[in-house]
Amino acid sequence: MRDPFVVSSITWHEISGKIDPDNINLVEETLLENLNLRDYGDLMGIAFIYIVKPTGNEIHQEEFTYSRKKKELYIQIRLPYYEVQSASTNEVLHMMANKYLQTMQERLPKKKIPGFNWISFVEDVRNLFERKGWLQEVEAM
């Protein structure tokens, strides 16, 4: 993996501008600049890919896998296409942050990654996203 935190997306062309490149880069840079993955244990990288495709497009499936050999997590998680389509770019950023945190909270405990303190990691992600204001409701304009 090129960096400890990699954030990307698989999107439908009509809504890709709400995800890429600004929101993707912002989430990735925020994680890279504020968290040191090695502080939480023996995990070398987390790749988080947002899937934003219309209902019925099942080519890309959700996935949450851990490679013991590489010590990396690979995650593909859906954001609701029609909600993203009708949301502002800022609202989409909030959706992305919430989905990242929710995914880590729900799925990391089930993975049981040896030597990885997922509780501290999730708490630090939550605190970081709260400081950024990304976990708050976005006021309608």
CA 19, CA 86: separation in Å to the nearest integer? 13
Query: So what's the pLDDT on residue 57?
Result: 66
- Ordered by start, the domain boundaries in the chain are 5-132
The pLDDT of 120-136, averaged and rounded, is 96
Nearest alpha carbon to residue 69 among 44, 94, 33: 44
pLDDT tens across 35-67, in order?
A: 999 999 999 999 999 999 887 767 778 899 999
Burial class (CB in 10 A: 0-12, 13-18, 19+), 69: exposed
